[in-house]
Amino acid sequence: MKSNLLLLFSLVFFCKVNGQNNLTTFGIQYKPIIPSSYFNSSHFQEEINFFTFNLKPGYSYSLGMLLRQKVNQTFSIESGINYIQRNYSLSIDNIQIDNDETFFGLRSYELPIQLLTYVQIKELWYLNVAFGLSYNIQTSDILSYGNMSDNFIQNTYRKTGSYIALLANIGIEYRSSESGFYYFGTSLHRPWTELGRIYPEYKDNNANFNNVDFKDKYYLELIGSFVTLDFRYFFGE
């Protein structure tokens, strides 16, 4: 958390120093991820061999900086860098064991580029729509243990160290040359492939699950699509 705040403050300083070019605008953003099973395909429940697994997304977010380069009166190019923190809980249920749950998080860095178009709907108010792609770097594989017992573990293995995602967002923006630009909207982040696989395991004197050769192990696919609420601020001239 401290490193995230340090990054944010550094970005604020950077933007204030450099936000003088009238064709280029610098900003910061915070994007809480909406915990919806409809948009977040990592929310599901599955039963196998009398074991029930329930994977749920926890509170997750993205934050970072933006660089908006004006092309003409209608279009701009947006790029930047974002830190994404995805949090999950995985529970296990079986009649022979005490129910247990483990919590874990995935960290990644996103390099987005989007084509932005906007329409003025009122004095100082604009409607924005953008589409693009992002290159995402996943930091590491994840191992976590159950809250009740170390008998329950999960290993999350990345499919690759990086992936490409489709981006789309829509929002409304208030623009003032003196106080800056204030933006509120929503975004879609949709990878073209699964992020990785979650391998749950359990072993004690009463039950045994997934303790087999790796090629035969049961796994849950981690898709990683999500929708966010977007809060942005661009520094004025």
Fill in the amino acid letter for 88.
Y
Find, among 8, 21, 4, the residue nearest to 235 by Cα: 21
Which segment, 18-22, 71-75, 170-174, is predicted with the most confidence on average?
A: 170-174
Burial (CB count within 10 angstroms: exposed 0-12, middle 13-18, buried 19+), residue 66: buried
- How far is 169 from 64, CA to CA, in rounded Å? 16
Full-model pTM: 0.84
In the chain, the number of structural domains is 1
Chain Cα centroid distance, residue 48: 29
Please tell me the predicted confidence (pLDDT) of residue 98: 79
Fill in the amino acid letter for 128.
N
Query: Are 136 and 112 within 8 A, CB to CB?
Result: no
Q: How many CB atoms lie within 10 A of CB 143?
A: 13
User: Is pLDDT at 163 greater than 90 in this prediction?
Assistant: yes
Which segment, 14-18, 45-49, 151-155, is predicted with the most confidence on average?
A: 151-155
Q: What is the pLDDT of residues 33-86, one digit of tens each?
A: 987 666 555 677 888 888 999 998 889 999 999 999 999 888 999 999 999 999
Tokens 């499919």 locate to 159
Lookup: tokens for 41: 């395909």
Q: How many CB atoms lie within 10 A of CB 37?
A: 12
Report in angstroms the alpha-carbon separations of 216 from 86, 152, 177, 213.
Answer: 27, 18, 61, 5
| Greatest Cα pair distance in the chain | 71
The dihedrals phi and psi of 3, each to the nearest 5 degrees, come to -65, -35
Please tell me the predicted confidence (pLDDT) of residue 10: 46
Query: Are 143 and 201 within 8 A, CB to CB?
Result: no
Q: What is the pLDDT of residues 97-152, one digit of tens each?
A: 878 999 999 999 999 999 999 999 999 999 999 999 999 999 999 999 999 989 99
Report in angstroms the alpha-carbon separations of 36 from 43, 94, 171.
Answer: 8, 26, 19
What value does the mean pLDDT take over residues 158-186?
Answer: 94
- Residue 174 domain boundaries: 2-234
Query: Are 220 and 46 within 8 A, CB to CB?
Result: yes
Please tell me the predicted confidence (pLDDT) of residue 227: 92
Residue 103 belongs to a domain with what CATH number? 2.40.160.20
